[in-house]
Amino acid sequence: MARPGRGGGGAPVSDTAVTLIEGRVKHRTSNALQITFHAGPGEPVAVGVQSAGDGRGRRLGVLFGFKNGGTGNHQLHYPDGRVVGVASRDGAPSQFTTASGSPLATVHRGDASSAVLPDGRELFWFTADPDEPVTADLYRLRVAAPDHGEIGRLDVIRRAQGWSVMRTLDAIDDFFIWMDRAGQPLPIPIHGTRLWLTEPITDVQRDVLLAACVDIAIGLRPYVAAMDSRRSSKAAPSSGQAADAV
């Protein structure tokens, strides 16, 4: 990842040895999926909402239960009022935009995925964990940057049990323990994301990473081959469990 002041832009928003940002998904009263991101106890870092940028017709489809995640114009809201648009598309790159509609990044998906800035520079690569890319409970991804190598890991939680599957990192301390409690099974396709960062990130980099989590957990976009149910059935959940959503 670009160091502060380089390709990512802005001042660093994290300077600890390891940062954990966990996003848990639930349904709003409108039936829209919502993912709430926390970096520890207290107020959320940001909240992603399904179809918040869509027209009335699509929002009615969500209200009546016809759209339980998937493509659409989702939004990521920060406590200071900033909004990042997350346009999840089928068969086309995902588009992330600022509140004014200006391009923030484009994600090109395939066997692996890359987040590209408007000027054409690659910001992140998302690849499958080479040792264990998928289990019945979660998908494991690695996040890397062209000028800094691997900067973190991304777990995509498939079932509630996945919250209790923790990675082993030397820098993890006791203040992360609060995040390893499994929640109750929910009628949602993806239960959430868990982003481990081992390098400082800038505000732009954070926006792109959290938008990617919204794209995966709410937009149900596959960022690696193992997440594409049309191409991989490895470790598929048994009957009664949440099926592959991406």
Successive 10-residue mean pLDDT values, the chain, 246 residues:
44 64 86 91 94 53 54 94 95 95 97 97 97 93 92 92 62 38 56 94 96 96 88 42 40
CA angle 223, 118, 15 (to 5 degrees): 70
3-state secondary structure of 172: coil
Domains of the chain, start order: 12-227 (2.40.160.200)
CA angle 110, 131, 227 (to 5 degrees): 30
- For residues 211 and 203, the answer to whether their CB atoms sit within 8 Å is no
What are the two backbone dihedrals, phi and then psi, of residue 186, each rounded to the nearest 5 degrees? -120, 150
For residue 215, give Cα distances in angstroms to 43, 103, 166, 170. Answer: 22, 16, 23, 29
Distance CA 215, CA 221 (A): 6
Q: Strand (E) positions, the chain?
A: 12-14, 19-27, 33-38, 46-49, 72-77, 83-88, 94-97, 103-108, 113-116, 122-128, 138-145, 149-157, 192-197, 201-202
Distance CA 9, CA 40 (A): 24
Distance CA 47, CA 203 (A): 16
Q: What is the pLDDT, as a whole number, of residue 29?
A: 67
Distance CA 169, CA 194 (A): 14
CA dihedral 215, 19, 201, 156 (to 10 degrees): -20
- For residues 163 and 183, the answer to whether their CB atoms sit within 8 Å is yes
DSSP label at residue 100: T
Number of other residues whose CB lies within 10 A of the CB of residue 120: 7
- pTM given for the model: 0.78
The 3-class secondary structure across 188-227, one letter per residue, is CCCCEEEEEECCCEEHHHHHHHHHHHHHHHCCCCCCCHHH
- For residues 209 and 23, the answer to whether their CB atoms sit within 8 Å is no
Which of 165, 162, 158 is CA-nearest to residue 237? 158
Which of 229, 198, 220, 225 is CA-nearest to residue 133? 225
Record the tokens describing residue 227, joined without a space: 């997440």
